[in-house]
Amino acid sequence: MPEPELLLTAYRKMVIGRRFDTQATALARQGRLAVHPSSLGQEACQIGAALALRPSDWLFPTYRDCVALVSRDIDPVEALTLLRGDGHCGYDPMRHRTAPQCTPLATHAAHATGLAHGERLKGTDTVALALVGDGATSEGDFHEALGLAGVLRAPVVFLVQNNGYAISVPFAAQSAAPGLAYKGIGYGVRSEQVDGNDAAAVLAVLTKAVEEARAGGGPWLIEAHTYRMAPHTSADDPSRYRPAEEAEQWRERDPLDRLESWLRERGLLTEDDIAAAAVAAEEYAAEMRTRFSEDPVVDPLALFEHVFSAPTPQLTEQRAQLRAELGER
């Protein structure tokens, strides 16, 4: 079991993470975000991933993993820059040791493997952790990443958040495997399954995986069984492909409620603690609302930054053309 203090930290981060998520959903409905893919119900996975890593480790998130970003102390407005449409990435990946959020499915899995191997070649003990959805495990990039990680014995951990649906496609329609963890075995990658709605279990398994990968034990694939209680995105209608009763059944397994009950039963969490966490979450959301009321300041020429380590002749030409066009205005 994780230490009680770590579970209390997870609880506080889950309360803030959930409030962040509901506020982001509201901002999308108000038109202040282009879209928002909710993390409701998957907080234990995302916060467990963030807490299992050292500040020097790297996180490779997907578009749904904003709660993991803010749990790594990334500014919430910067975490939502991609979804607001202001830029490709609002935060400094090097500073936060967090790769830009990945929208194409599974392409970042190979990046995580490559970075982990590269860090080991440099003599560091850095671990990379890639968050992956169940739909991404059907992509070729995912299998290439696992194959490479297995051969290289790279210090990388793949956390598959199996929430039952790849957008609107249920798990049974995308894989005949008895579980997604089985996909790692064929590549020589140690594989485990965990209750993704049990924060303590997620933390225990991820912490072990990260530290064994750090010690040279090779890569891990962990399948976390969880559920997306909200729509795929704020533009989705889940009633078209799943019954309402299904979501209600999963609400009884709410990861935040489960952790709160466990901590209270053991006298580790008081009513004052619960109230303080709620107040902190509301203050967090209020600051988000205030800052999203301000128009962002963007530089069109920034489109050409961070594309290549050194600009290509074509990019240099295009940048000059845009600069000239902006000057004419």
Cβ–Cβ < 8 Å for 192, 180? no
Does residue 187 carry a catalytic annotation?
Answer: no
Structure token pair of residue 2: 């994780």
The residues pairing with 29 across neighbouring beta strands, listed in sequence order, are: none
- Across the beta sheet with 220-225, what order do the strands follow? 58-60, 128-133, 156-162, 220-225, 190-195
Q: Is 228 a catalytic residue?
A: yes
Alpha helices in 194-312 (DSSP H): 199-214, 244-251, 255-265, 271-292
Q: Which of 72, 108, 111, 228 is catalytic?
A: 228
How many residues does the structure list for the chain? 329
- 125 neighbors 51 (Cβ within 8 angstroms): no
Buried b (16+ CB within 10 A) or exposed e, 311-329: eeeeeeeebeeeeeeeeee
Inter-residue contact 230 to 24 (CB < 8 Å): no
Closest of 191, 157, 199 to residue 1, by C-alpha: 199
Burial class of 174 by CB neighbour count within 10 A (0 to 12, 13 to 18, 19+)? middle
DSSP 3-state assignment of 36?
coil
How far apart CA 190 and CA 219 sit, in angstroms, is: 7
Residues whose CB falls within 8 Å of the CB of residue 30, separated by 6 or more in sequence, listed in order: none
Please identify which of the residues 54, 241, 289, 291 carries the catalytic annotation. Answer: 241
CA angle 104, 137, 89 (to 5 degrees): 25
Decide if 165 is catalytic: no
Q: Quote the CA–CA distance of 44 and 258 in Å, as a whole number.
A: 10
The catalytic site residues sit at 228, 232, 241
